[in-house]
Amino acid sequence: MKKRVLLGANLVGNSVRFSVFSEHAQKIELCLFSADEKKETRIPLHKDENNIWSVTLSDIKENQKYGYRAYGEFDPAKGLYFNPNKLLIDPFARDLSDSITDWENPAISLTNDLDSAVVVPKSVVVFEHPEEDLNRYPYLHKKPQTQWKDTIIYEANVKGFSARNEKIPEEIRGKFLAFAHPSTIQYLKSLGITHLELMPVTTTCGGLQLKKEKGLSDYWGYNPVNHFALDKRYGSREDFKTMVNELHKAGIEVGLDVVYNHTGEFGMQHNLISYKGLDAPNYYRLSDNGELINTTGCGNSMNVNTPVMNRILHDSLSYFADSLGVDGFRFDLAGDCALDSNTRFDPNGAFMQIIRRIAREKKVKISGEPWSALGGYYRGQMEGLMEWNDKHKEAVRRFYRGDENVVPELAAHISGGEGLYFGQTASKYIRFVAVHDGFTAYDVVNYNEKNNWANNENNNDGSNDNHSSVSPDQNIAFRRVKSMMSASILSRGIPLICAGDEMAHTQYGNNNAYCQDNELSWLNWQNLSKEQRDLYLQIRRLTALRKNHPNLANLDVFSGQIVPSNNRKDIEWIRADGQEMQEGDWHNKENHILACVINGKSSEISPNPSSKKNNDDDFMILMCGNTYGFVDFKLPPSPNGHKWELVFDTTGAHKKINDNNTYTLEPYSYVLLTSKKEQERVHERTTDLYLLNKQKQRD
Which residues are catalytically annotated? 332, 369
Q: Please state, in angstroms and rounded to a whole number, the distance separating the CA atoms of residues 459 and 477.
A: 25
Specify the DSSP element, H or E, that contains 480: helix 474-489
3-state SS string for 385-440: CEEECHHHHHHHHHHCCCCCCCHHHHHHHHCCHHHHHHCCCECCEEECCCCCCCCC
Q: Please, which residues have CB within 8 angstroms of residue 136's CB and are 6 or more apart in sequence?
A: 241
- Total Cβ atoms within 10 A of residue 344: 11
| Residue 96 near residue 229, CB atoms below 8 Å | yes
Kindly tell me the sign of the dihedral angle through the C-alpha atoms of 347, 348, 350, 354: positive
Residue 489 exposure: Cα atoms within 13 Å on the Cβ side = 29
Kindly tell me the sign of the dihedral angle through the C-alpha atoms of 105, 107, 108, 112: positive
Burial profile 655-692: b = 16 or more Cβ within 10 angstroms, e = fewer: eebeeeebbbbbbbbbbbbbbbbeebeeeeeeeeeeee
Q: How far is CA 697 from the centre of its chain?
A: 53
| Residue 284 near residue 303, CB atoms below 8 Å | yes
| Residue 332 near residue 261, CB atoms below 8 Å | yes
The SS3 of residue 637 is: coil
Q: Please, which residues have CB within 8 angstroms of residue 123's CB and are 6 or more apart in sequence?
A: 9, 65, 66, 67, 89, 90, 93, 95, 96, 97, 229
| Residue 396 near residue 438, CB atoms below 8 Å | no
Residue 476 to residues 291, 323, 445, 503, 540, Cα–Cα distance (Å): 52, 48, 9, 16, 20
Residue 271 φ/ψ region, left for φ over 0, alpha for ψ in the -120 to 50 degree band, beta for the rest = beta
In this structure, are strands 429-431 and 15-21 parallel, antiparallel, or unpaired? Answer: unpaired
DSSP code, position 503: G
- Total Cβ atoms within 10 A of residue 615: 18
Q: Please state, in angstroms and rounded to a whole number, the distance separating the CA atoms of residues 482 and 335.
A: 31
The SS3 of residue 533 is: helix
For 568-605, give the DSSP string.
EESEEEB-TTSSBP-HHHHT-TT--EEEEEE-TTGGGG
In this structure, are strands 15-21 and 8-12 parallel, antiparallel, or unpaired? Answer: antiparallel
Residue 291 to residues 74, 267, 286, 451, 528, Cα–Cα distance (Å): 13, 9, 5, 34, 51
Q: Please state, in angstroms and rounded to a whole number, the distance separating the CA atoms of residues 401 and 194.
A: 30
| Residue 194 near residue 473, CB atoms below 8 Å | no
Residue 14 to residues 30, 61, 90, 129, Cα–Cα distance (Å): 19, 10, 21, 15
Q: Please state, in angstroms and rounded to a whole number, the distance separating the CA atoms of residues 247 and 229.
A: 21
